[in-house]
Every structure is written in C-alpha cells, then in structure tokens.
Amino acid sequence: MKKVLGVYSAPRQHWVGDGFPARSMFSYTSHGKQLSPFLLLDYAGPAEFSPTTRPRGVGSHPHRGFETVTIVYKGEVEHRDSTGHGGVIGPGDVQWMTAGSGILHQEFHSEAFSRSGGTLEMVQLWVNLPAKDKMTAPGYQAIVDRDIPAVALPDGAGSVRVIAGEFDGHAGPAHTFTPMNVWDMRLNQGASTKLSLPTGWHSALVVLRGTVLVNGETVAREAQMVLLDNDGNSVDIEANNDAVVLVLSGEPIDEAIVGHGPFVMNSQEEIAQAIADFNSGRFARIAEPA
C-alpha cells in the first residue's frame, strides 16, 4: 500500500472576489514537488448566499502556464473568457480550462442562482503544464455531468466519477497534457474500498465531506488532504460516515515551478515576460455580451 506521508488541514477561509469563500487545501508553495503535476486546490464553500440582483464573483483576471479545473457540487457558476467560450456549469459539471500562453477569465454566480440564492460548493484545481506546452494555445473543455462515467464500487460501497484518467476500465472525458487521474468518489457510511494507484505517481486524497480512515490507521476529516507516498500501488479507504473524496494521482513533471499570482512558469524570466505581456495588452480581451 501507499504509505500516508501526512494529513494537512486547510488554513482559514479567504475570499476570491465576493463570490467564492475558499480554503486552499494545498498549493505549489507548500507541496509543489510532492504533488506535481497538481499545483493548487481551493475548496469553495459550502456557503449560503442570499438572493441578489447583482451576481457575485470575480472579474476579469489572467492566467498563463497551467490549467484550471472547476468542479461544481452545489449552485451554478457562469464564466466567460478571452477565447470566446462561456456558459453555466451546475452540479456535477466540470470546466477544464487551458490557460496556456495566456487567457483572461471571469467567474460569477449564474443569474438564476443569484436571483434564487442557495448553497454554493465547488473546487478549483490547478494542473501544471510541462515546459514544452506552457505556451500552447488557450483552450476549453466543457464537461457536463452526464458525460462523466460514474462507476459503482464493489459491494455497494459507493461510486467514482471518472473526470480524467481511467478507473476500472472506464476513461474520463478530460484531455490532459500529462498522464493523471482525477476521480470524484462517494463512499457510503461504514463502507470501505481499495483503490489502485500507479506506483511512482504523486497521489493525494482530498476529503470534502465526511470522515475517512486511510489504510486502517489514519483519520482524515472534512477539508483535510492526505498525502500519499509514491511507492506502493494501492490505498484502503473506509468511510465513518457518508464521504466525498477527490482522488488525485499524476505522473510527476520534473521541472522547476516558478509562480507569481496567476502565472506559473519555469523561471523568473518567464514570469517577468508574462507580466509584461499582460500589462502591454497582449492577452486577448473578454468581449462584453451583446
């Protein structure tokens, strides 16, 4: 089995704009080498929002050098970017955005969710790009819930939604630049399962809801991340109560990680160039809706 290297609790919640109360489960400043190709994961909510006529969120902001993966559990998020893509993602949907050479992006609560109010719960995962792909053309994958395979676990233990990679012969719909698995797992109270994870890959369990017992000895609760050793090829998970766990595993990108705010590159020179390109208007603009 993959040994547990540590259990990490999210720091205090911080606001991203006025619409996303987020807890950073990990970042490349703390776990860059241990979790490559994954850079950062923010868990937003669950939080209650009252009805409003003015959508809350975060306005136009740039990214370069990586991908953002937004998974919505509750509520709705409306997004637009400088490639011309946009739309609304709701419960179960995933927005997989490749910033690549540079993109401008904005995210707000949807108009319908803003009017009705309710619970918002989502995660945003940052996935690194290797040096050869950091300046790839920006792109976007709209992945709706019905296109994500939901695979039943043995003995009625729960299910795994395969967003990226493969689980039990089922391939996820997301295209990735390096090999990885992104699994959204539900584990029923009192149930247990054994997951196979590739030897040599970086792996982590992010507990979003519930309490789980890992490898029969390590307890992890809501808003905690379990870091696993590269060695070994499996992990045992038992749910003390109904649990939602995001399972991440990926082939490491053995390259320098240099980040500055919304830019993640391989050198300070590339960061300086990204800032200069953004300040000089070389990133495309988001067109206002007609």
Annotated binding site: 61, 63, 105, 107
The single-letter DSSP state of residue 115 is H
The Cα–Cα gap between 188 and 168 comes to 19
**Nearest residue to 152 via CA among 175, 121, 186, 182:** 186
Residue 154 CB-density burial (10 A; 0-12 exposed, 13-18 middle, 19+ buried) = exposed
Two tokens, residue 93: 């949907």
From the CB of residue 266, how many other CB atoms can be counted at a distance below 10 Å? Answer: 18
- Collapsing DSSP to helix, strand or coil, 195 comes out as strand
From the CB of residue 81, how many other CB atoms can be counted at a distance below 10 Å? Answer: 22
**Nearest residue to 122 via CA among 89, 169, 168, 170:** 89
Residue 156 CA to its chain's centroid (Å): 27
Query: Where is the binding site for Fe cation, in residues?
Result: 61, 63, 105, 107
CA distances to 13, 157, 193, 215, 288 from 235, in Å? 29, 15, 8, 6, 48
